[in-house]
Amino acid sequence: MKLRCAVIEDFQSVATTVVDWSPVTDDVEIVTFTEHLATVDEAATALDGFDIVVTLRERVPFPAELFARLPRLRLLVASGMRNSVIDFDAARRHGVEVCGTASSSTPPVELTWALLLGLARGIVPEATALRTGGPWQSTLGADLHGRTLGLLGLGKIGARVAQVGLAFGMDVVAWSQNLTKERADEVGVRLAASKEELLAESDFVSVHLALGERTRGLIGAAELARMRPTAYLINTSRAAIVDTDALLAALNVGTIAGAATDVFDVEPLPADDPVRSAPRLLATPHLGYVSRANYETYYGQAVEDIRAFLDGQPVRRLG
């Protein structure tokens, strides 16, 4: 009798076609779910009777309560090698192996620049106007060359964003609580003396920090007020780093020139969320890691994880 595997959050219906699942299909029945499982009750109902679950990034939490309600579950595969929404202690107590996959930082770097450039040159309003008979040229583009790019965070993603900024001829400055001058020098950027200094001098501010107690709400009303009225904020990291209410207020009154975000407090974003209609905001539905190459890695290694588990030799264990 085959084991049952649920592949959840497959919004684009590509999980079973982007890679070859044949190494496991003799032993495992694959079932995909294209709708978001928003609550523990929804997840417990949908996943009841499955032995294996493949989940994408951190879209669906797996707390102790959910493990307790999935007695057949034996393997949970999560894309990436870090996951903050899985209760690993509960997984161990319930005898569930948790495995991960590799994940590339290239797609979020590229999306960061797509959003930044889209903001700077008014791509969305200009393209929309062209297609709908609107005005011919209605915005005045913001230049990048010679302008200051401020990076909150200079890790793997932040450093690669910095390299592109330097290639555009931008003055790149960075800050985080633990950032050293040695690291800034290594990347070839300036170290800001403080978060406040970075915000005050930057024409574009891009967030590349991990979410934690020190970074939650790091950018609020006071910080946005320090930014130039001609400056733009880009967040492709975690929604909770930026106070959404404060950002919406700043956009509504024009405290800053604009913002772009790929991450939200609740995902998928509710239909009536004010973010959807905020002025001066370019928003995308969490596309940072959504690229063909990344999906090939996620699902290809998920197949490897399942095969290794079936063979009694789990790989890429998490927790």
| Given the residues 57, 147, 190, 286, the one annotated as active site | 286
Query: SS3 of 99, please?
Result: strand
pLDDT at 310: 98
Q: Per residue in 201-228, pLDDT tens? A: 999 999 999 999 999 999 999 999 999 9
- Is 316 one of the catalytic residues? no
To the nearest 10°, report the CA torsion of 191, 196, 197, 198: 60
- Is 267 one of the catalytic residues? yes
pLDDT at 56: 94
What average pLDDT does the segment 107-136 reach?
A: 97
Cα–Cα distance, 51 to 94 (Å, whole number): 12
Q: Per residue in 232-245, pLDDT tens? A: 999 999 999 999 99
Angle at 64 between CA 59 and CA 66, to 5 degrees: 60
Average pLDDT, whole number, for the chain? 97
Backbone dihedral angles phi then psi of residue 77, each to the nearest 5 degrees: -110, 125
Model pTM?
Answer: 0.94
| Given the residues 267, 280, 307, 316, the one annotated as active site | 267
Closest Cα to residue 145, out of 117, 170, 177, 164? Answer: 170
pLDDT at 296: 98
- Is 238 one of the catalytic residues? yes
pLDDT at 177: 95
| Given the residues 9, 59, 238, 304, the one annotated as active site | 238
- The DSSP secondary structure of 126-155, one letter per residue, reads HHHHHHHT--S----PPP-TT-EEEEE--S
Dihedral sign for Cα atoms in the order 98, 102, 106, 107: negative
